[in-house]
Amino acid sequence: MVPDRTDYSFSGGTESVYPHLLAEEVRSLRETSGEEGCTLRDIEREVIRSALEKAGNNKSLTAKRLGIARQTLLNKIKDYQLE
């Protein structure tokens, strides 16, 4: 049996994502968005927001946990207006 899937749209197409593979915060994003789906951008923003919260807003630790460079994280924080 294939688990239920959620289709998330993003620039260039739609990607199927299996909800059981996503963090609880991301799974609830679709429920609270009031839309049929949410964008990949929405998912990334929520993952970063949640990771920052869990790391006590420590950006170096957050970047390390996410596996990205600290400067990349800072750029995304600015882009997503998370500060």
Range of the domain at 69: 6-79
Query: What does each of the 83 residues of the chain score in pLDDT, given as a tens digit?
Result: 444 544 444 445 555 555 555 666 666 665 665 555 678 898 899 899 999 999 999 999 999 999 999 999 999 999 999 98
Query: Which residues of the chain form beta strands (DSSP E)?
Result: 6-10, 13-17
- pTM over cut 0.85: no
Let me know if residue 74 belongs to a domain. Answer: yes
Q: How far, in Å, CA of 4 to CA of 26, rounded? A: 15
CATH number at residue 19: 1.10.10.60
Let me know if residue 54 belongs to a domain. Answer: yes
What are the C-alpha distances in Å from 66 to residues 4, 17, 36, 37, 50? Answer: 26, 19, 27, 24, 11
How many domains does the chain divide into?
Answer: 1
